[in-house]
A and B are shown apart, each in its own frame.
Chain A
Amino acid sequence: MTSSASVGSRTPVVDGLGVAVPDRVVTNADLAARLDTTDEWIRTRTGIAERRIADPTIATSDLAYEAALAALKDTDEARPAAVIVATTTPDHPMPGVAPLVAARLGWDAVPAFDVQAACSGFVYGLASASGLIAAGVSDRVVLIGADLMSRITNQDDRATAVLFGDGAGAVTLRAGTPDERGAVGPFDLGSDGAHVDRLVVAAGGTRAPGPEPSEPARYLSMDGRDVYRHAVRRMTESCRALLDKAGLDVDDVDRFVAHQANLRILMAVADRLGISAERRVSNVDRYGNTSAASIPLALADAALRPGERILLTAFGSGFTWGSTLMTWPDLGR
């Protein structure tokens, strides 16, 4: 069955934004009290001051659901939508988070699936939502980026425990036209799967049998310097390719919202692209690296004005990377 509507009227348009983060704040000082690290080291290396950590009774679908509810308030839209959850930390290895969220929203029989592209998940999720809309599968999509990174990081490992936090952010999208505020696209996505060991949670899948929880392979392991190198290069190239594809110049970009992993990576990419300081959005100081949640969390903190052209870019384990453009909608704030 083909859609008779032209592609032009099936552009994804964002019309809602919501976030949900755990209440518990863990500061650098809290971490320095039990790990061999300092507030100064963490701030200068990463730009992070504090992060949110979910209590043990909370699972990813809980935060994802709260973020979705918050986003749905913008349109007051009760009609069921497709649900996509970008996550690396689902409640269970099976099923995904999306069907759980759809059920809690009271939506029967909607398309619901997870996207696993690590820290690039939200951009890949936007591309997936775009696909559902363009193909005529759905007229409305709720896209949620949600991760409880604290559950896959070794809290006794100072190298990784300081970097990550928990959170969720969601957008609602509808089918519209490219000239509308909130329109998303085009996209530049990529991957390089030749460096798995640089950023990996090795055990718990089919490559290695599940170990006892105490084994290091159960937790996230990262070569920070190598990841920095790849991230800066790939995000920069991706943004350049995207702007080229869109027929735009970097000066046409009003705000730069990168995946919030590390302030220095973000600055290095922005420097190379020639994006001035006041256009760079950053809230990594508040939440740390929340993986797929980081972009919507940053959008929520950015005080964006309707009509502003936003450049989004992300890089994550895989390696994966992705960039896209959008104009900011009027959410009545």
Chain B
Amino acid sequence: MSSAVYDKVKELLVEKFGVSEEEVSREATFSDLDLDSLDLVEFALAAEEELGVRISDEEAEQLDTLDDTVKLLEEKGATVEGGA
């Protein structure tokens, strides 16, 4: 199972949402990370733009942990561009 998507999600959270790296883990929930409902919408939009997948509001609401999130993104065929 690809961890490139997980790394990208972590990068998004740290760079765009001000989450500190240490807090990010597969079991962490969005509320653990202090992200509110608008942050979730913003996250879904960013996922669309950076990973090429569409997450609906209903799907975003179902997400609990980052692990759920990464699984959903991978199911939808998320691709991470570029190397490094």
Interface residues of A (CB under 8 A from B): 44-45, 224-226, 228-229, 232-233, 264, 268, 271
Contact = CB atoms under 8 A, between A and B. Distances in A.
Interface residues of B, number: 10
B25 interface: no
B74 to A, nearest CB: 22
A232 B36 CA distance: 17
Contacts, number: 26
Given A224-B37, A225-B41, A229-B44, 15 more contacts: A44-B36, A45-B36, A224-B38, A225-B37, A225-B38, A225-B40, A225-B57, A226-B57, A228-B38, A229-B57, A232-B42, A232-B45, A264-B38, A264-B42, A268-B42
Of the listed residues A44, A45, A225, A228, the one surrounded by the most CB atoms of chain B closer than 10 A to its CB is A225
6 contacts: A45-B36, A225-B37, A229-B57, A232-B42, A233-B45, A271-B16
Interface string B23-47: 0000000000000111011101100
Contacts of B41: 225, 228-229
Q: Which of B16, B37, B40, B45 has the most CB of A within 10 A?
A: B45
A224 to B, nearest CB: 8
Identify which of A44, A45, A268, A271 gathers the most chain B CB atoms within 10 Å of its CB. Answer: A268
Interface string B42-60: 1011000000000001000
